[in-house]
Amino acid sequence: MTDPTALEATLLQDISAAADEAALEAIRVAATGKKGSISELLASLGKLPPEQRKEKGPLYNGLRDRVTTALGARRETLKQAALDARLQREALDVTLPVRESGIETGRIHPISQVIDELTAIFADMGFSVADGPDIETDDLNFTKLNFPVGHPAREMHDTFFFAPDANGERKLLRTHTSPVQVRTMLSQEPPIRVIIPGRTYRHDSDQTHTPMFHQVEGLVIDKSSHLGHLKWILAEFCKAFFEVPSVKMRFRPSFFPFTEPSMEVDIQCTRKGGEIRFGEGDDWLEILGCGMVHPNVIRNCGLDPDVYQGFAWGMGIDRIAMLKYGMSDLRPFFEADVRWLNHYGFRPLDIPSLVGGLSS
Ligand code: DAH
């Protein structure tokens, strides 16, 4: 026969030791549940002779009442403790400063910024953006652009070639964005007015050269565009890009196989105290190559050079980014150093536009 005094002592001890509501519920079921120890004691009353029942009845009922009370009290304590813990865990200090999101802390790379600036300026003049693959054929990178096989101009490009494929064809990493001129003429009907920003590759590395760099190409093909238009476009571009009211430009004769005549363009600047300023001064800085598209190139792209004509130009994006934003070394552009990017980068929501400002 269970000793009610010992049972009560054990139950009360278990109850006060119960760590959570689930443990407490298990004790309750084991004590006052259908087959619980106290329920069994109470059930046994029915089999006792009346005398003993009178004596044990109040004893067992008293036991049940005290255990039930202790269970209730412990449940309340545990509930309160769980609530306190949750309040602690979910406490929110609304006075703390809001943590900045990626859109505020992230930075746009100066190259991406300059590409966006270029695009905004040329889009305003009615240009669209074209692109092509970084891995090119020799035909598109050179031959169709009027670099005959064996021509010395090919050697000047320090080309990265791939191993010949099964057909003996040697693909290469494009050395300039000019092959996209050819791709555009082969795939679009004139009038054509595109800019082509993109990655280019040459075997070259020092403070102002990296093996991968960026160029932007411009191409206009129709029946009447001439050098006067080209000069106006480039002057407007330089003023807008360098954010100055006027620029003086100098066109020097040059040579590129894919243009005739060909020119290199310098802009006037001052260099004082290591700082460069445009729109003033008596120094000159070369910024791009350009010319009228060579009739051979127009013909190679399936157009009749007696009907169509136009001009093209090519410019180093990294170089104009360095000039505009005052960086003297090109290599950190591609080192992915977040400290450099935090210093030279641009805020993602300050999207360059001619109306909102290019770099402000
Ligand atoms: N492709 C030339 C280079 O990488 C740059 C260039 C010069 C592009 C004159 C042109 C151009 O479209 O007309 O050196």
pLDDT in tens, 67-97: 999 999 999 999 999 999 999 999 988 899 9
Residues with Cβ within 8 Å of residue 117, at least 6 apart in sequence: 241, 352, 358, 359
CA of 137 to the centre of ligand 1 (A): 17
**Which residues form the pocket of ligand 1, taking CB atoms under 6 Å from any ligand atom?**
176, 178, 217, 256, 259, 289-291, 312-314
Q: Given pLDDT bands bounded at 50, 70 and 90, which one contains residue 1?
A: low
What b/e readout covers 189-215, taking b as 16+ CB neighbours within 10 angstroms? ebebbbbbbbebbbeeeeeebbeebbb
CA of 312 to the centre of ligand 1 (A): 8
**Tens of pLDDT, residues 15-73:** 999 999 999 999 999 999 999 999 999 999 989 999 999 999 999 999 999 999 999 99
Give dist(CA 178, CA 217) in Å, integer. 7
Owner of token pair 């050079």: 305
Q: Given pLDDT bands bounded at 50, 70 and 90, which one contains residue 152?
A: confident
pTM of the model: 0.74
Please, are residues 332 and 110 in contact by the beta-carbon 8 Å criterion?
no
- Ligand 1, pocket-test mutation among 177, 183, 258, 311, most atoms within 8 A of CB: 258
Q: What are the DSSP E strand ranges found in the chain?
A: 128-129, 135-136, 172-173, 192-201, 212-222, 249-256, 259-272, 275-278, 283-293, 309-316
- Mean of pLDDT values over 206-214: 90
Question: Amino acid identity of 201?
Answer: Y
pLDDT higher than threshold 90 for residue 271 = no
